[in-house]
Amino acid sequence: MAGEHAQYECPECGKPTLHTRPLVPFNDILHLLLSAFLCGAWIPFWLLLSASHNKYPEPFRCTQCGHVPGHLPGAITMKQHAASVAAKRTAKIDASIRREQKRRAQEPWRRMRQERRRATKAKLAALARRLPGQVDAAMRAAAGKGNDILYHFFQVALGVVVIGGAVLACYAFLIWPWTK
């Protein structure tokens, strides 16, 4: 008999018995002839059928008592099924209630944190609007009248300082905490 065989101890009869499951062959010769006869038009169907073919449609079966592992001897009643579904539904509802209560408990802190962020962003925006004009005026005053070379040197130095500060800030806030 063609198929797959395995030695298991049957949970039903308790004996070590040979379990088998039959093999359902796939007829490649028939598909090859159909492909040749239809000038290759059958090849996509052949590939689709061979990919979806289940070699072993049945699970292992005990050769002594015929028991199939994993199958229950009897079906559960509708009452048992309804009870299990109700228990699962109650557990889901309880979990959603707990999540909602936890979210509501965190609400005041979340609002306060958002308000602080908004205030900080507003202050930074006001400073960013004021700062470029003040820095430019200070550099022009330090360079003196008609000294464009010194003025451009100050601009380059300021750019280096700003970029260096940005790199240090990225390192301090993004990379350094993860290296500990």
Mean pLDDT of 131-156: 73
More confident residue, 149 or 67: 149
pLDDT of residue 164: 92
Task: Evaluate whether 11 touches 67 at the Cβ level (below 8 Å).
Answer: yes
Q: Are residues 52 and 7 in the same domain?
A: yes
The pLDDT value recorded for residue 3 is 61
**Looking at the structure, do residues 13 and 43 belong to the same domain, yes or no?**
yes
For 33-57, what is each residue's pLDDT tens digit? 877 888 878 888 877 877 766 665 5
Angle at the Cα of 80 from the Cα atoms of 79 and 82, rounded to 5 degrees: 65
Residues 50 and 82 in one domain: no
What is the number of domains present in the chain?
3
pLDDT for position 102: 80
pLDDT category, 21, cuts 50, 70, 90? low
What integer is the mean pLDDT of 116-128? 78
The answer to whether the predicted template modeling score (pTM) of the entire model surpasses 0.75 is no
For 89-100, how does the pLDDT look when each residue is reduced to its tens digit (9 = 90+)? 888 888 888 888
Host domain of residue 81:
75-133
Residue 138 placed within a domain: no
